[in-house]
Structures are given as C-alpha cells and as structure tokens.
Chains A and B, each alone.
Chain A
Amino acid sequence: MEKQIWVWADYRNYFQSRVTLQILARATDLAKKTNAVVCAVVFGDRVDEYVAEYIAHGAQKVYVTDDPVLNIYNVESYAFLLSALVRRFQPETLLVGATRFGQEIAPRVAKQLNTGLTADCIDLDIDDKGRLVQIAPSFGGNLIAKIITPNTRPQMATIRPGTFQELPHDDDAKGEIIPISLPGHMPAPRVRCLKSELHPVRARKIEIADIVITGGRGMGSKGKFKKLFDLAALLNAEVGATRPVVYADWISSDAMVGQAGKHIRPKLLFSFGVSGAIQHTAALADAKFIVAVNKNPNATMMKLADVALVADANQACSGIIRAVKDRIRD
C-alpha cells in the first residue's frame, strides 16, 4: 500500500487557509524523503475552490466530503469523519494546523485512534528509520524537544502557523480528487453552534510596527515598566511584553509577544529585562536588529542580540530616553 501524508484542511478564514498551504509545502518535502503521497482532507459544503487551491499548492490527492450538513465547523462531527477516514485509508502521518479549531479536533482524533499527538510543532523531519520527528517547544518554552510516535499510526502533529513557507500557486498541478460520501450513521451532535460570526481581531499595531520595545520582569515593577511607554512615544514604537509580565498584570494580555501572543517583525527591537524563553523568542525571529538590555550577560535574549548592554534594564531605559531626547534634530 502506498504511504500517505495527510493534511487536514482548515480553511474558514485567510489565516487558516494559509496554515494549510504552509503544511502542504512541508509535507511535500517529507514525502520526497519517505516516498509518500501528499493528501489533503477537506470537509465542508461546496468546497471546490479549496480543493483546487490545495492541488495547486502540492496536494497530489484530495479526499473530499462535500455535504450541506458540514456547512459549519463542528468538532464532534469533523472528528468522527476524520477518524473514520484514517481507519479506512491508514495514512502514515496526519498533520493539522495549530489553529484553535485544529487544536480542538486533533486531540480528539488522536484519542479516538489511540495514537500520539505533538502540539504546536515548529519543525518536522524524518529520522533514519523513516519516522516523523516532531519538533516542538517544551518545558515552559525553555527547551526544544524532538518527539516521535514509534508504535502507533498515524503519527500526528499540530503545526504552528507561520512555521513553513507555502509553495507558489501552480495552476498546472494535477491532483486526484476522491469524493467520500457522508456516512449514514453520523452521531447526533451533542454540541450545537447557535451563532458563529466572523470577528477578525484587527492586526495590532505591534505586529507591523517598525520599532518594538519589549519588557520583561527585569524592568522591576509595574510602575517602572511604564517607562517603556515614554521611550515608545519618543521612538514612535509599540510596547510588547513577556508572559510573566502579562501574568503579573503590568500590561494587558494583548501586548504579550510570544507563542501564545503576538508575532512581531520590527526593523529594530529594544528588549529590556527579558531573559528569553523560547516561547517569547520564537515570536521575534523576524526582528532585523536587536538591542537587548539585561543584568545577566548569559540570558538567552542577550545572545540573540546584535548589541547587548549588560545593565539594569530600568536604568538603561532612562539612559536611552535621555540620549534620544538629546540627539533628535529639531
């Protein structure tokens, strides 16, 4: 039987569509190493346009259940359908985008199939035995773990959005479409969706700002943390924070920069009193130039910096405020 790598298609909004295309790209690399076929699995109502999109982005086969009953995302019925399809076609690997819905459906499917699942992978590889190596942050975001699922199939992982680069759209790509009809014995839904409205959270300024200033616990206190806003006003910058600072209520949770918060891509990043847990630094990878301040020269954040100032974050912030005021040409 041919080996298959499956990608569950999450397409409700632009962000979800993109993560699906990103995973298809990586699945294409992995498939070359294991001589496998890349497949997308699409559930919904009138999904032709998505099926075509997935073929244009690398899916060699697409399993499609297209039925008006599936017009709204429902975790129970979607998990039921996905588990049933996996049992029937037995893919080696099943990948799902780590969207919120993806993180609801994937654990249920994994448990139904009694197989392993790694959350929020930031890379995937194949080891010398042909097994999927699932690479994910672990232990409070301070370390990276390589995880395998040695004894059960499929090997399942959710993939952090933005991790992989989607393939260019290829209109000439050919793919086989395999229609799957809805089974007659769908369980009655125990969860009912009464209302579902698109409410996009507008892109926060911090995600597109040219200069971002982030602060960690090293700023000392809620009162001292406010100094970062003074510097931000001078530099026309946005202020972000680490998770401990958000949990300590020094700043609201929408300012959190990290795996569970905002990803930023500034031209210039000032980082004050941040030690640099991976769950935070993973969201800074696209920062062009980093200035870090920390009393501890060995802090991870200091090692990621282009310029590292070994100093008290709070005093350095005051010093930089003075220097900017002094140097701005009137």
Chain B
Amino acid sequence: MLHIIVCIKQVPMVSELPWDPRTGTLKRETAQGMMDPAARRALEAALQIKADRTSGPVRITAVSMGPPMAEEVLYEARALGADRGVLLTDPCMAGADTCMTAVILGKFIKNHCPDAGLILCGSMSSDSETAQVGPQLAEDLDIPAIGYARRLELLDGCIRVERHVDDFLELMEMDLPGLVTIDHAGESDRYTPRYVALGGVEAAFNTGNIQVMNRRALGLDHAFNALKHSPTKIMDVYSPVTEKKGRVLTGAVKKMVDTLFDDYGKIISSAMGKDLKTHDHEEDK
C-alpha cells in the first residue's frame, strides 16, 4: 500500500485584501482562509494516483501546520477524498520560517507516518511564495525531491516526473520514498483541481474526524519555539508604496474619459501609433 502525504497550507482568500472604504485601510480580520491553490493541485495529483487502478491500494493523509482555523482546509481535503486529516497546531509553532516549518512537518512524517512513500506539496504558496518548504522538508527527511512537476507516473519503487524549469522540458526519475512539488502555474489541465459540492464539505465537517496534534503529541522537545529557533528574523515590515503625484479624476465617467483624452491624448496616440482627435481644445489655440 502506497501512503501519500499531502502538505496543505491555508492562505488568505485573496491577495488583494478587502479595504475599508471609509478609512482606506485593509480589513485583515475579514480575510477568509482557503486552501492554497498549489496545494490543491498537489491533492488533486494524489487523488488521481489513488483513482488509477494500476497504482494498487493508496492511502492519502492530508497534513497542515497552522492556527486552529486551518482545520477548515483539512475538512475540505477529507471531503475531496483524503483518508485522513491531521492539523499540527501549537502556540510554540507560530512564527516558523520555512526551515522550522520543514522541521515540524518532518517530525510528523518521521514519528507518525514512517510508511510514507510519496510526499506531495504545492511548489509555492500564494501568500508567501518562497518555494522553500518542499525542498527543505525533503532535506529534513533525507529523501530525494523534484520540484515543479506537471505530470507524475508511478512505477515500481520509483516515480517519473515531467516538469518545465527555466526553459527546459525535463523527464526525471526518482527513487521512493521521495517528495514532489506540483507546479503552481501548470499550463496543462492535468492537475486542475476538482471541486466538491458544499454538501460534501458539510458532511466532512459532521464526521468531525480531523486529528489535532500539539507539540507534545508530535514529539517535539518541550523547549521547542519555532519563532526563536528560526534562523531568519524579520526586522521590519513596511508598505512598499512609492506614490506618484498623479492626477486624480472624479465625477461622471463621460467627463473623466473626455478629460483623459483631451489632456493626455498625445501620450495615448503616440503609444498607439495613431492620431486621435482631441475634441474642443485644439480649436482654442
């Protein structure tokens, strides 16, 4: 039996967070969580392997590290077909950089899934975009890894992977156990995620069988502190906006558009390589 572990991150629903029209500030608290789109593709890859009769029996464990609310994505994974959902959550795991995240996930796999044959991750999450956790988890487990897979083919004791990296189309073969990250920007539709009816998610919620593991259950040392032990430290965070002193137009659409073409027609027509009439004003001169 092949045991596939799929690592799933919960990310904010939109990269463009909702704004408060009165104050113009971001409303972070209203940002909802969702399953990271690349992780969703990784889960899809696992489900397709499971559905393929030639794979033999397959068991899928979906695992996530995150705050308690991250269990939502595990219920969803269960509804989609994962056999088991495990949430690794503990205040001492907060603030983990990619290296410590890999240590925590690695601890779970080493201590609780020693039969893991294939580990699947999204190549890069939509919020952090580091692409580091997959390779670092493989290193933590001392297993081989292939990034940015577009297509997987399970063979006896190994896996074949097609990928497109830096303008090269590659076909790789890797011994198992091993880790594969699924390309977040796959152009083929092979791992386009399936969707689950709302009733399916509700049913999964009702079964209530997401396993929650804290530091102690996981087997991490009592002094474990992800923030403290992360080799990178965030010194400062700031908004990147470099504002132009641009011109702001308000009012009726028609009037704004006329102003745009009357005052900036030359720029627009020069970019187009075509002449545009600038109403009214030409005659004034």
A binding-site residues for B, Cβ under 8 Å: 12-13, 15-16, 75-76, 99-101, 103-104, 106-108, 110-112, 114-120, 133-134, 137-152, 190-201, 210-211, 216-217, 235-236, 242-244, 247, 252-254, 256, 259-261, 266-268, 275-281, 289-291, 296-300, 302-312, 315-316, 319-320, 322-324, 326-329
Contact = CB atoms under 8 A, between A and B. Distances in A.
B132 A103 contact: yes
Given A144-B239, A197-B169, A100 B135 contact: no
B283 to A, nearest CB: 15
Interface of B: 11-12, 14-17, 19, 21, 24, 26, 37, 97-99, 102, 124, 126-136, 138-140, 143-148, 160, 164-175, 178, 184-185, 187, 230-244, 246-250, 253-254, 256-258, 260-261, 264-265, 267-268, 270-279
Contacts of A291: 260, 264
5 contacts: A13-B168, A107-B136, A117-B232, A260-B184, A328-B275
A196 B139 contact: no
A148 B232 contact: yes
B272 to A, nearest CB: 6
Contacts of A259: 129
Contacts of A195: 169-171
Given A13-B166, A141-B129, A308-B249, A110 B257 contact: no
A296 B21 contact: yes
A117 B16 CA distance: 26
B173 A192 contact: yes
Contacts of A310: 248-250, 256
B263 to A, nearest CB: 8
Interface centre among B126, B231, B244, B277 (most CB of A within 10 A): B231
B165 A100 contact: yes
Classify the interface of chain B: helix, strand, loop or mixed. mixed
Given A100-B147, A142-B17, A196-B169, A119 B131 contact: yes
B102 to A, nearest CB: 7
B270 A275 contact: no
A327 B277 contact: yes
A311 B248 CA distance: 11
Contacts of A309: 249, 253, 256-257, 260
A246 B185 CA distance: 10
Nearest to B135: A107
A133 B235 contact: yes
Kindly list the 5 A-B residue pairs having the minimum CB-CB distance in the complex, ordered from nearest: A298-B24, A116-B231, A116-B232, A119-B130, A190-B144
Nearest to A118: B232
A17 B29 CA distance: 43
Contact of B15 (A141, A146, A150, A327): A141
Nearest to B264: A307
A86 B51 CA distance: 45
Given A144-B239, A145-B236, A329-B276, A201 B167 contact: yes
A76 B169 CA distance: 19
A200 B26 CA distance: 40
B272 A140 contact: no
A325 B18 CA distance: 35
A192 B279 CA distance: 66
Contacts of B26: 142
Contacts of B240: 137, 143-144, 278, 281
Contacts of A290: 244, 246
B132 A119 contact: yes
A142 to B, nearest CB: 7
B168 A198 contact: yes
Given A116-B230, A211-B272, A260-B124, A244 B15 contact: yes
A41 B166 CA distance: 19
A286 to B, nearest CB: 14
B271 A268 contact: yes
Contact of B237 (A143, A242, A280): A143
A188 B187 CA distance: 33
A254 B187 contact: yes
Contacts of B132: 103, 106-107, 110, 117, 119
A277 B16 contact: yes
B257 A323 contact: yes
B248 to A, nearest CB: 5
A306 B249 contact: no
A145 B237 CA distance: 4
Contacts of B127: 139-141
B16 A216 contact: yes
B261 A111 contact: no
Contacts of B135: 75, 103-104, 107-108, 111
Contacts of A320: 257, 260
B91 to A, nearest CB: 20
B257 A140 contact: no
A144 B230 CA distance: 19
Contacts of B249: 307-310
Contact of A140 (B11, B174, B235, B244): B11
B257 A329 contact: no
